[in-house]
Every structure is written in C-alpha cells, then in structure tokens.
C-alpha cells in the first residue's frame, strides 16, 4: 500500500467516525433530555422490581400511575414509583440497578426510591 493509499484510507476512516459522532449527537438532541431524566430517576431509586405487563395492568387498575418518563421511551415502558410499603407482596423480581439494560428490556418495573428523594 502506498503512502497515498494509506492517507486516503485514514481520511475515509476519519470521515466515517465524524459521521457516526454527528449521528449520535443528533440522537441525543432528538431525545429531548429523556435519557438524562431516566438517569435521574434511576439515581434516586433504591430498588427495582421487574414486573410483567399483566402485573402492570393490575397496578394501573388499582389506581397507581406510571412515571411519565416511561411513556417517552420507545417502546414505551410502565415505570411505577412506589414506596416500599405500597409494593404488593409477591409482585415482580428484584433486579440490581447496575443492570439497567434488564430494567429497560422489561415491559414494566416498580422503582422504589430512597426515602427523601426529591427527584421523583
């Protein structure tokens, strides 16, 4: 490979990286702060329970409201922010907060905040 070919290849790689960074920045802009607010919600959460769509429907029918950030995700999620005392017995399975991907892959979750959380 000649020097010229090598430089053209490097230029092509640099343009590809720049295009990817531009696309990522655009996605963050279009998200309208959703990921930031989701991170705040998770930061103020002490425990998380993954629940099924049926369990979420039961909670909704019982009068519990979902957190609005879940509706802004695609696909929409049902996040119920409940105190420890309000969580029905035997509902859901606990997931470590470090495994946020599992929480986001589930159709619904119960998030139990720290006692004095002002972010919710």
Q: Scan for tokens 């655009």, then name that residue.
A: 26
Q: Beta strand pairing status for 45-51 and 78-81? A: unpaired
User: Mean pLDDT in the chain?
Assistant: 89
Of the candidates 91, 81, 89, the residue with the CA atom closest to the CA atom of residue 42: 81
What's this model's pTM, rounded to 2 decimal places? 0.72
User: Cα–Cα distance between 68 and 35 in angstroms, integer?
Assistant: 13
pLDDT band at 120 (very low <50, low <70, confident <90, very high): low
Q: What percent of the chain has pLDDT over 70?
A: 94
Whether the pLDDT of residue 105 is over 80: the answer is yes
More confident residue, 78 or 74: 78
Identify whether 75 is preceded by a cis peptide bond (ω within 30 of 0).
yes
> How far out from the chain centre does Cα 42 lie?
8
pLDDT band at 80 (very low <50, low <70, confident <90, very high): very high
Predicted local confidence at residue 25, as pLDDT: 81
Q: Where are the domains of the chain?
A: 1-30, 34-113
pLDDT band at 43 (very low <50, low <70, confident <90, very high): very high
């Amino acid at each position: 490979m000649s020097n010229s070919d090598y430089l053209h290849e490097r230029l092509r790689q640099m343009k590809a990286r720049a295009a990817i960074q531009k696309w990522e920045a655009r996605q963050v802009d279009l998200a309208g702060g959703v990921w930031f607010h989701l991170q705040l919600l998770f930061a103020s959460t002490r425990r998380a329970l993954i629940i099924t769509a049926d369990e979420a429907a039961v909670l909704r029918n019982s009068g519990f409201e979902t957190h609005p950030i879940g509706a802004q995700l695609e696909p929409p999620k049902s996040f119920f922010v409940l105190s420890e005392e309000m969580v029905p017995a035997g509902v859901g399975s606990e997931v470590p907060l470090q495994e946020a991907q599992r929480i986001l892959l589930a159709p619904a979750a119960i998030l139990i905040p720290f006692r004095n959380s002002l972010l919710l």
